[in-house]
Structure 1
Amino acid sequence: MLSRLRRTTVILGAAALLAGATTLTTTSAASADTQICDKYGSVRVSGGRYLVQNNEWGDDTTQCLSVRDDGFTITTANHNKPTNGAPASYPSIYAGCHYGNCTSGSGLPKQVANFHSVQSSVAYTVASGQWDASYDIWFDPNPNPSGQNTGAELMIWGNHQGAPQPIGSKIATVWISGASWDVWFGNTGWNVISYVRTSPTTSLNVDIGAFTSDSVSRGKISRSWYLTSIQFGFEPWQGGAGLGVQSFSTSVS
């Protein structure tokens, strides 16, 4: 997931970077309170419908997750990354295909031109430190690329704390899914468009089709591209322990 390099520094998103530069090295099925400490470890949950990934792409300190059937909690993390650079990681849960690793029954990949309804809900806990809590939604000209998506990365920030901000600069403020959002745009080799909720929250129920349509209208996403994955997680720069997803669901038709 990608995106929190601030201002002039390296503009590489965490989510994106992770999404872009990682390989899921260990994938298993979750049991109650499964622990992941491997940097790129992952666990299938909800009968394979979703996948939780540790995704510690930007730091070498220990990060561990306690994984439940539809979420996770960061139990160990003491990141201390400069907030004017890339985040430490993007621990997250997702539906769809990421680096060729697909979940089951997600309805993804889905071509933007064929969207009917794309919805997602999440509830999450916050903690001390400097971080963002965000969706990371990927688009590519191909339905299931084996590597980095090259179309666009759409981020939806439900909450954030401290200095980190989205890649690029603010270009607008819009009303979508019953809330006000500041719109940011930048490019890291692919388009990164971020929607930052002006009133932070600990739960989201979003119409991803509406956010996508707004990005299409701005010329940042093509209707011929495919939505490949819907991810939600955290980009911590400092701290991280205690952040967690309590529930997560997606619906694509």
Structure 2
Amino acid sequence: MTPKEGEEWERSHYTPLSERREQHAMRHAHIFLIVGALVALGLFAVPAQAAPVICEKFGSTTIQNGRYVVINNVWGADTAQCIDVNQSGGFTVTQAAHNKPTNGAPASYPAIYAGCHYANCSTGSGLPMQASASGFGSLRSSVSMTYPGGGTWDAAYDIWFDPTPRTDGQNTGAELMIWLNRQGSIQPVGSPVGTVNLAGGTWQVWFGNSGWNVISYVRTSATSSLDFTIDTFYADAVSRGYAQRSWYMTSVQAGFEPWIGGAGLAVNSFSFGSGGGTTDTTPPSTPGTPSAANVTSSGATLTWAASTDNVGVTGYDVMRATGDTFTRVGGGSATSFTDTGLSPSTTYRYRIRARDAAGNVSPDSAIVTLTTQPGGGGGGSCAVTPTTQTAWNNGYVIQPVTVANRGTSAMNGWTVTFPLPSGHTITGIWNATYTVSGGTVTVRSLAHNGSLAPGASTSFGYQATRPNGNTQVPSGYTCA
């Protein structure tokens, strides 16, 4: 997702990413530069496969027998751009006459990718793949890049997720961007929400929404290469409530967004697949029994001893139950978790499981049982105000849904409920978790936004589909 200055710019001036990157790309056949060959009386042969130079705005080609697709994709400008495609797995921007203002969208996104993007699919990628599939945890990608000394640009992965296994059209789940480097006064869409250590580096996490969730990881110290499991970053996005395990990954892309210049930007190598070498089938060890602390009427903090693994633990799942069925309510790479939005005077049971990079899952830990305190909300008075950001024939985005403490004492976690009209389906939510039961949606706060001082407020948002021609949006919100 490209940078922006302020929420209003994003909404009114920034074309959604899939449209701005590829809205015309599928209208054009793959463009190949015909490389001249000396042919004299049959003594010289034409090369079987030449690496093309692509200068057409939306031109693309495949390399390595279709394993990857390379796209020029000058979606945001009419200035010239050419890329020299490397059959071994990359490309170099050889010409880029861009000069775009940095408070707007970039000129292009030249990239290499595996998977499907607007029906332009590589071969053998195994995508789309559901993020809950057993093989998802073993998916890896690597990239090596070269950067020029001048210009204004970012170097970023762009990884797409959709609630369905679609191979064409706009993805409406999540867009996960991983910024290895940037040059100039540019930033991702949205606003920073935290910092995390992943894949051997420290990343500032940004969140925004453009009709789908946009989660950007900006490396605090630039790097020219990265080798990582996709789930390293996706698990973090899931733990923050910005993505869901039921969604499908449709493509993994790596490239550049130039505003000014861009010549010299290069992907030297790119790979995507289920790792290499010997398959890891060893699960992590059982996590330690969780212990509960800071139990209030609406929340509790769990801690546990770390698991070990022959390769490395990538994250933990926190499972919660009030009856016999355990449901994942959060997790991440840390060995602690604060659960919020609980009901007063209610008994909850928790257990923990660990995951590694190959998708192996540990045995469940022993169970800890706790009972929340009576009362609720710390004596605060909760108010909720929804806003319809946008609506179309068969869907809508509600954001912000503002949750405010109108009382005189602190709130320690909040819960918002509302009826979902018949035929409507929530496809994504951000800054909160949710469940749907009997047509009632229950939204709960996360660890970072559950505590509200008197007069303070926070917000969440969600996207939903509805039957064609139905103009309803939810109403009747209540907050506790």
TM-score, normalised to structure 1, is 0.94
Aligned partner of 1:86 among 95, 105, 108:
105
Report the alpha carbon displacement of residue 28 of structure 1 after superposing the two structures with TM: 5.9
- Give the equivalent residue in structure 1 for 2:375: none
Structure 1 runs of 4+ aligned residues shifted over 6 Å read none
Aligned partner of 1:64 among 82, 85, 94:
82
Structure with the largest fraction of strand = 1
- Give the equivalent residue in structure 2 for 1:125: 146
8 Å contact 1:95–1:106 — kept in the other structure?
yes
Distance 1:108 1:28, change over 3 A: farther
State the one-letter code of the partner of 2:202: S
Alignment of 1:46 with 2:64, yes or no, is yes
Alignment of 1:10 with 2:10, yes or no, is yes
TM-superposition CA deviations, 1:121-167 (whole Å, max 9, x none): 00011111000000000000111242111111000000100011100
Secondary structure of the equivalent of 1:48? coil
Aligned partner of 2:203 among 175, 181, 185:
181
1:203-218 aligned at under 5 Å gives the runs 203-218=225-240
State the one-letter code of the partner of 1:137: I
State the one-letter code of the partner of 2:106: P
Secondary structure of the equivalent of 2:10? coil
Q: How many residues were matched structurally? A: 252
State the one-letter code of the partner of 1:103: S
Measured on the aligned residues, the alpha-carbon RMSD in Å equals 1.8
- Give the equivalent residue in structure 1 for 2:267: 245
Alignment of 1:23 with 2:22, yes or no, is no
Report the alpha carbon displacement of residue 84 of structure 1 after superposing the two structures with TM: 0.7
8 Å contact 2:142–2:272 — kept in the other structure?
yes
Report the alpha carbon displacement of residue 252 of structure 1 after superposing the two structures with TM: 3.4
Percent of aligned positions that are identical: 55
Counterparts of 1:77 and 1:17, CA distance in 2: 21
TM-superposition CA deviations, 1:20-39 (whole Å, max 9, x none): 53433222689434110111
Secondary structure of the equivalent of 2:188? coil
Aligned partner of 1:149 among 140, 162, 171:
171
Distance 1:225 1:55, change over 3 A: same
Counterparts of 2:21 and 2:74, CA distance in 1: 11
Moved more, 137-146 or 185-194: 137-146
8 Å contact 1:112–1:227 — kept in the other structure?
yes
Counterparts of 1:137 and 1:154, CA distance in 2: 5
8 Å contact 1:138–1:227 — kept in the other structure?
yes
Moved more, 108-117 or 7-16: 7-16
TM-score, normalised to structure 2, is 0.51
TM-superposition CA deviations, 1:173-205 (whole Å, max 9, x none): 001111110000000111100000111011111
Moved more, 79-88 or 14-23: 14-23
Aligned partner of 2:183 among 158, 161, 164:
161
Runs (5+) with no aligned partner, structure 1: none
